[in-house]
Amino acid sequence: MIRFILSKLLYLVPTFIGITIIAFGFVRILPGDPVLLMAGERGISPERHAELSAQLGFDRPIWVQYFDFLGRLFQGDLGNSLVTKKPVMDEFLTLFPATVELGLVAILLATIIGVPVGVLAAIKRGSWFDQVSMTAALVGFSMPIFWWGLLLIIFFSGILGWTPVSGRISLMYFFPDVTGFMLIDSLLSGQKGAFTSALSHLILPSIVLATIPLAVIARQTRSAMLEVMGEDYVRTARAKGMPQSRVVGVHALRNAMIPVITTIGLQIGVLMAGAILTESIFSWPGIGKWMIDSISRRDYPVVQSGLLLIAGLVMLVNLLVDLTYGLINPRIRHK
């Protein structure tokens, strides 16, 4: 197992180097002067230009800049935002829990609904439930989620007035940041109504973000179940006179879960892309909105580091999925 982990880690090294090259390189492949580009239409004085160039290291050879960048990266220094002047790492760490909270709730929602729906659709293959749920899954899979979010706002916030339109919690509540997760912190604060407020802010964004993963998980669970149900050991279990619930729940489901778990793990990339759209619709103060804002403000140090952090994160989660997969299925480990 240790050899398996090591080989997986080793395999990631070139990918990680590639990610740093892309994150480092994108500002510099721009035609023209990056400092002028950052200044945008405001223009910049020659003194400030020289100062910024030196500060960002653009006056040195490119490979020196790259190794400098790497060196600082390993010390956890990602530079400062051009707009807020604060360290990028600090900004990231403040906003990251918001995205994690949203993402976790979304993936939970997608799994809790998606897996049972997929299993039921597979068991009752060809029934109306199968047809309706799989049609719904295909619609969900094809959904432009930025539009879906707007529709939900029109209906639940506009017409029914049930949910707030944006943010994480009502401005009425104020409590210390303990875990960074609004749901937990609001409970810890003991303030009346704080938790309900946090929950009502979270519900629409998490539905929007869960839509595509939910569709993918339901479809994947159904096809994995169908495949497993045709296996000999399931037939044997049936022939032994085992009740249907045991055949499905124990023999089939456990084996069908392996590809499903992989699918769930792979949704992290989808979630990050979805978070950009979801957070920008609901003004959710997470890293997706942070990236969009930074891109439109030309805050290149933030974009560069954000790109790196997000790609690194996706890579890490994929590694964890690979490792879990090896843990569940020894055959993978010994290949």
Q: By CB under 8 A, is residue 40 in contact with other proteins? A: no
Tell me how far, at minimum, the Cβ of 135 lies from other proteins, in Å. Answer: 8
Q: By CB under 8 A, is residue 148 in contact with other proteins? A: yes
Instruction: Go through 134-173 and write b for each residue having 16 or more CB atoms within 10 A of its CB, e for each that does not.
Output: beebeebeebebeebbeebbeebbeeeeebbeeebbeeeb
Nearer to other proteins, 16 or 175 (CB): 16
Tell me how far, at minimum, the Cβ of 14 lies from other proteins, in Å. Answer: 5
Tell me how far, at minimum, the Cβ of 297 lies from other proteins, in Å. Answer: 10
Q: Which residue in the set 150, 188, 203, 242 belongs to the binding site for other proteins (CB under 8 A)?
A: 150
Q: Which residue in the set 4, 129, 141, 325 belongs to the binding site for other proteins (CB under 8 A)?
A: 141
Q: What is the 3-state secondary structure (H, E, C) of the chain?
A: CHHHHHHHHHHHHHHHHHHHHHHHHHHHCCCCCHHHHHHHHHCCCHHHHHHHHHHHCCCCCHHHHHHHHHHHHHCCCCCECCCCCCEHHHHHHHHHHHHHHHHHHHHHHHHHHHHHHHHHHHHCCCCHHHHHHHHHHHHHHCCCHHHHHHHHHHHHHHHCCCCCCCCCCCCCCCCCCCCCCHHHHHHHHCCCCHHHHHHHHHHHHHHHHHHHHHHHHHHHHHHHHHHHHCCHHHHHHHHCCCCHHHHHHHHHHHHHHHHHHHHHHHHHHHHHHHHHHHHHHHCCCCHHHHHHHHHHCCCHHHHHHHHHHHHHHHHHHHHHHHHHHHHHCHHHHCC
Q: By CB under 8 A, is residue 14 in contact with other proteins? A: yes
Q: Which residue in the set 102, 252, 303, 321 belongs to the binding site for other proteins (CB under 8 A)?
A: 303
Nearer to other proteins, 129 or 141 (CB): 141
Q: By CB under 8 A, is residue 302 in contact with other proteins? A: no
- Residues 230-249 as x/- pattern, contact with other proteins by CB under 8 A: x-------------------
Q: By CB under 8 A, is residue 153 in contact with other proteins? A: yes
Q: Which residue in the set 1, 6, 9, 30 belongs to the binding site for other proteins (CB under 8 A)?
A: 30
Q: By CB under 8 A, is residue 26 in contact with other proteins? A: yes
Q: By CB under 8 A, is residue 146 in contact with other proteins? A: yes
Tell me how far, at minimum, the Cβ of 313 lies from other proteins, in Å. Answer: 10
Scanning 62-70, 146-154, 167-175, 253-261 for contacts with other proteins by CB under 8 A, the matching segment is 146-154
Q: By CB under 8 A, is residue 204 in contact with other proteins? A: no
Contacts with other proteins by CB under 8 A lie at: 14-15, 18-19, 21-22, 26-27, 29-30, 135, 138-139, 141-144, 146-148, 150-151, 153-154, 158, 230, 269-270, 272-273, 276-277, 280, 291-292, 295-296, 298, 303, 307, 310-311, 314-315, 318
